[in-house]
Amino acid sequence: MAKGGVTVDQNVIVTAIESVAETLGTMALVLIHPEDPLALPEPPGADVTAAYDGHLDAIKAQVSGNHNLLEMSKRDFRAGYPDRAGAYLVEFLEKLMAEPGYTQNFSADSQGRLDFSLRDLREL
């Protein structure tokens, strides 16, 4: 998934994934309405979506291939569905981690941090 044979900046990807996982987790907690559990979610504010989009754009700049999963995550995040946005990121990370060059492009520390973020995203 590295772009055109270029080494990926693992720190950009890891930091972005950690940030969006934290944002999605926080948003999922905030969206719980005890009085009306079936209420539709409210979309996040422009400042929150801009930061989320920026993190996913940073990831897109580091990886080649189809960015549909990242775009779908953006779309569902903007609509107020952190669980669905997170599900697309889980699928993206699983594909990234299955790439043949994953262990060469990511240090053991970065792999551990991505594994931790993946577990967090699966809990949404």
pLDDT in tens, 55-81: 999 999 999 887 999 999 999 999 999
DSSP sequence for 23-58: HHHHHHHHT--SS-TTPPPPPPPHHHHHHHHHHHHH
Q: 120 near 23, Cβ under 8 Å?
A: no
Structure confidence at residue 33 (pLDDT) = 67
Query: Mean of the pLDDT values across residues 20-44?
Result: 80
Domain ranges of the chain: 3-122
118: its two tokens: 């993946």
Q: CA-to-CA distance for 105 and 82, rounded, in angstroms?
A: 28
Helix (H), strand (E) at residue 86? helix 82-98
Structure confidence at residue 53 (pLDDT) = 98
